[in-house]
Every structure is written in structure tokens, then in C-alpha cells.
Amino acid sequence: MEMIKFVLVGAGSAQFGCDMLGDIFSTKSLEGSHITLLDINPNALKKVYDYVKEFIEANKLNFTVDATTDRKEAFKNAEFIISSIEVGDRFQLWDEDWKIPMQYGIHQVYGENGGPGGVFHSLRIIPPILDIVKDAMDICPNAYIFNFSNPMTAICTAVKRVYPNARFIGMCHEIGWLHKWLPKILRMNYDSLDIKAGGLNHFSCLLEIKDKKSGKDLYPDVLKNAHGYFEHEVGYSDLLKYAKANNAFSKTESFDHSIEEKLKGEFIWADRRLLKVILEKYKLLPITVDSHFGEYIGWAWDVVDHRGILDFYELYRTVLSKAEPKIELRVKERASSIIDGIVTNESYVEEAVNILNDGLIEDLPSWIAVEVPAEISKDGVKGVKLNNVPKGYLSLLRNYVSVYDLTAEAAIHHKKEYAIQAILANPVVNVCKNIEEMVDRMIDSQKPYLDYLK
């Protein structure tokens, strides 16, 4: 097999770069590959590169690695590009995304990917990602590009609008909640379950679940047993309290969730009070928690676990501030499994990717990026059509689709007018009078990233 070339964009991040490298190093079909680490921060890049080079040598791994800040040089002969970038000071900008709209009377559950905060986050990050994809299309047009940046739906929708032929795939971790929840809810091994989940990123639900062996529909059992499981499940407030009391913040890229087994949930329906409403009113199980699912629903503010969301934010911020390079030789992210399937042609169904809809969910526009399962093979990533998506859930999805349309248009055409309209179309916004002033204030506060909007 010829040598495969990977490029990790944003490799200076201790969390992202080392997680992806551990995955690649643990995938047998990828042995002998060359990996180029790419980042705009030379100091962070050198720190990760030195650690990776030493790790390869110490573990006698059959991989080669180099590092550069030159994107065009990095992309030469690339076959797989894996990207996770942010712009500016992530948490300072996120605080502004949350607090400035609040000053203008807009309540947001989280302010990262939905609501006005999600619009501004999208408008900051879409332009540099479009630049990345442009270089890829010019230099290595057949390369697969895996995106881990948020806001996922906004990014994927905008990229495919500008570069319809790009092999651009959005990847998200949230499907992993089902791996934790379903075995406990059903008292069954996850491998014995046949599931389909989908919708929009951070706004997806479990749509079908069957016993692989018998074909029995297990959704009635999920709805019957979910309340008993979630009511006293450990939440982020419990984890933060434990971490502070025991100085248990991880010094690597993630928090040690194994301590959850030792704790008892102090708060009813922690992190999942909106999930409870969706279970009861829509008869569906979201694949994520309140902080994510609640960003796209106007009335979510009234029901979500605000304590849990604030505590998660503090926990997340603290953990990332302690991140140091650390590679573990085990697969954590699903991109390496997809690449393995493409390289070996060992076909399988991936549970969740973000790709252009184009009829995969019939009642949503063809141009929106949707989160769906996908068939993986040497032919690439082919979305699985989701039939009979419940109309009540579709109504929630459709309420947000126009926001993504206008956000993409604002980023692509540099039009402040579209940004204002995206916010006015947003289900979480119920004010109008000072929206243009708010947008001007955000542009002024985040001038290096938003001043292109005219």
C-alpha cells in the first residue's frame, strides 16, 4: 500500500492533535502514513511536534511526522485533512457571545452554536474554514476533509454552498451519549442494538432502535425506562463539586468520567430537564444534553437545567486550561474508523456524520447540512436516508433552518444585513428594537473577526 498523507489542521491544540494522533497510530491500516502537523501558532505547534516525534521514536511506531505553519505546503499530496480550529481567545469571545445579547434582552441557554451567540461564532469561524477548503480544492481536490469545529451545521452548510464538490464531512461526539445511556436503559449490550439517529448537529434524536437479532422495536422500552435512569443520573454539577473537593481536574485533555460511577446524583434530571420534556411531549430521546439541544428552541430557557449548564461551562473551561500533550494508543474519535473503512473498503455504517442533506431527510431543504448515519466504503461517505421522521420533531428542526441559511449568506457575501436577519429569524430571539445596535456592538467588540461584515 502506498504511503498515506494526513494533515492535522489546528494540531497545536493539545486536546485535538494528540487525540487524533492516538487514533491514527492505533489503526493498523494506516501504518506507514506520513502526518503533517499544521498550526498558525508556531510555539504551540513546536511543543506538540517535539512530543509527537519523541513518542513515535519511543514506541517504535511506523509513522513519520513533520510540522509547518505553511498551509499550502502542508496540503501537497494530502489525502486526508482533519481540521479543528478556533479563532481568537475562545472563552473571552464566548463570554461576549453570551453576555452582549443578554444586555439587549435575549436569553440564551448556552450561546455557543445556537441563538445570537451561535450566529456570531459562525460568522467568526466560517471565513477561515472557507480559506482552508479553498486551498485544499486548489492543491488536493480529492482529499477528504474532516471538520471538528463548531458550529457544525453552519460550517458544513456554508462550505458546501461555496465548494459543492469538496469531500467535506462534519464529525461530532454527541452520538457517544447513546453508547452510555442505552445499555443502562435497556440492560442490553450496545452491540446488540440497531439504531438510527439524526436531525441537525447538537439537535439530533434517536429515531429508531431495534434488537439486531429479533428485529423487535425497542423504542417503547426506551420511553418506559428512560425516566427511571435519568432522574437520578450524575450531572455536571456533581462532577464539578467532586472535582473541586478532590482537586480531580485532569491534567490532560479530558476529565476523568470514571468517577461518575462513584457518585450519586444530587439534582433531579441533572443536565436533562429539556430532554425530559422532549421524551414526554415528542416521544423521542435526544442524543445530547440540555446545553446543546436547548440552543435552538425558544422555550427551552424555561425548562433547561441552568445550574448544570453553568457548571459544565466552568468544568470545561478549567479542564481545557490544564490541557497538556498526551497521546493514548486507543481510538477515541470516529474519523479514523471512517478513514480505515475508505482505505480498506471494509464497508460499515457510521452512526453520525454531518453532510449535505440532498434528500436524506425529505422534509428539510436539500442545501442544509444534516446529521445522519452513513455507509462507509472505498467510494467514500454515503448518507443513509431517514424515513418517517416525526412531524413534531421536524417542526423544531425547520424553525432553525432559515437561521443557518442567512448565516451562511452573511459569511459568504460579507453582508451585515443578513447577519441581522439571521438573528431576527432565530427562535430564541423575541426582541427587535435594538438588534442592529447589538450587531454593531458585537462587530466592534470582535473587530478582527467580524469587521468584514458591511
Cβ(7)–Cβ(21) below 8 Å:
no
Q: How far does CA 247 lie from the centroid of its chain?
A: 28
From the list 385, 363, 390, the residue with the least C-alpha distance to 375 is: 385
Q: Where are the beta strands (DSSP E) in 201-319?
A: 203-211, 285-286
Cβ(201)–Cβ(369) below 8 Å:
yes
Cβ(206)–Cβ(220) below 8 Å:
no
Q: How far apart are CA 31 and CA 400, in angstroms?
A: 43
Task: Give Cα separations from 294 to 65, 309, 399, 404 (angstroms).
Answer: 41, 10, 13, 16
Annotated binding site for Mn(2+): 172, 202
From the list 452, 451, 449, the residue with the least C-alpha distance to 93 is: 449
Residue type, 173: H
Q: How would you classify residue 399: left for phi > 0, otherwise alpha for psi between -120 and 50, otherwise beta?
A: alpha
Count the Cβ atoms, other than its own, within 10 Å of residue 88.
13
Secondary element (H or E) of residue 319: helix 306-321
Annotated binding site: 150, 172, 202
Would you mind telling me the total number of residues written for the chain in this entry? Answer: 454
Annotated catalytic residues are: 173
Give the DSSP per-residue string, 264-288.
---STTTT-HHHHHHHHHH--EESS
C-alpha cell read off for 415 = 453582508
Residue tagged 480498506 (cell numbers): 344
Q: How far does CA 283 lie from the centroid of its chain?
A: 24
C-alpha cell read off for 280 = 414526554
Backbone angles phi, psi at 402, to 5 degrees: -65, -30
From the list 133, 170, 123, 87, the residue with the least C-alpha distance to 412 is: 123
From the list 209, 206, 225, 229, the residue with the least C-alpha distance to 217 is: 209
Residue type, 140: C
